[in-house]
């Protein structure tokens, strides 16, 4: 089996790395905060002292990082250490422009696949993510299928692009649900009645996500994703949703909370 280096062990990264470890892939892990790697090391992973050390002997490098700035910092350390024939699978939400810039930094013989995912921690733990794979993913598809269902999206950068489209739709929907419930409250409707009616309509999926429990997609990450989505095109509705999440994330504690908690904050602030 290929040697895999997994960089970035946040809520999603840790769950995804554990899936690969469970499939008996030789796994080296690295995280800026080493303590987050301890459960994986106890389960058999090898902890690298640095990102550069993690990738030196890797056949496949997977990054699951907080955003473009974190990816840029890691790339500076990792790119010189990648061996010819290695494949870098970038699974963070960073947008297609960042993927294009990363591809330009790679040496000859290194393949880049952009493969961000749809789904939260529950789906990561059970291997039911939606993996949006751009570029030549054939070589690593058997690795990606350990994490979920792979959808080939097209040329390099297309996975990152589709992730922005889908996240913008979900986050915009969650913000809309929050406003709809504010309207229901203003009109004197019972909240449970309004929620049930919304859940039975076209917004049913996002109503479920707006009140989900046992999952985690931080509000600060929602701000980052919507900011990326509103850069390439003027999207007034998404810009309004971005402002909602931005205000909800002003409190540092709220910024770390799942977006379901932001729904209450959006209703109060609106």
> So which residues are the catalytic ones?
163
- Tell me which residue has tokens 């994986």: 40
Nearest to 152 by CA among 142, 141, 143: 141
Helix (H, G, I), strand (E, B) or coil at 99: helix
177 contact partners, CB below 8 Å, separation of at least 6: 198, 203, 206, 207, 210, 263
CA distance 127 to 141: 14
Q: Are 229 and 164 in contact (CB under 8 A)?
A: yes
Nearest to 133 by CA among 116, 148, 120: 116
Report CA 233 to chain centroid distance, whole Å: 21
Percent of the chain that is helix, strand, coil (3-state, to 5) = 55, 15, 30
The strand pair at 129-134 and 117-118 is best described as: antiparallel
DSSP character at residue 83: P
């Amino acid at each position: 089996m290929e040697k895999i280096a997994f960089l970035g062990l946040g809520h999603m990264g840790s769950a995804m790395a554990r899936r690969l470890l469970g499939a008996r892939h030789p796994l080296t892990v690295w995280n800026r905060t080493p303590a987050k790697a301890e459960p994986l090391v106890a389960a058999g992973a090898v902890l690298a002292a640095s990102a550069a050390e993690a990738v030196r002997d890797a056949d496949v490098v997977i990054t699951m990082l907080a955003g473009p700035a974190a990816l840029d910092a890691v790339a500076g350390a990792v790119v010189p250490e990648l061996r010819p024939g290695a494949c870098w699978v970038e699974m963070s939400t960073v947008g297609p422009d960042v993927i294009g810039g990363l591809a330009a930094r790679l040496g000859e013989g290194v393949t880049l696949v952009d493969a961000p995912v749809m789904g939260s921690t529950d789906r990561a733990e059970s291997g039911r993510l939606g993996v949006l794979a751009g570029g030549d993913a054939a070589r690593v598809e058997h690795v990606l299928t350990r994490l979920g269902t792979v959808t080939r999206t097209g040329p390099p950068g297309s996975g990152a692009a589709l992730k922005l489209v889908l996240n913008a739709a979900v986050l915009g929907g969650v913000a809309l649900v929050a406003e709809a419930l504010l309207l229901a409250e203003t009109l004197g409707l019972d909240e449970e009645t309004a929620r049930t009616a919304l859940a039975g309509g076209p917004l049913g999926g996002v109503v479920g996500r707006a009140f989900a429990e046992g999952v985690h997609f931080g509000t600060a990450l929602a701000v980052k994703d919507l900011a990326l989505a509103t850069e390439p095109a003027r999207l007034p509705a998404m810009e309004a949703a971005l402002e909602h999440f931005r205000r909800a994330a002003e409190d540092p504690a709220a910024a770390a909370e799942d977006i379901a908690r932001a729904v209450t904050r959006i209703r109060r602030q609106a």
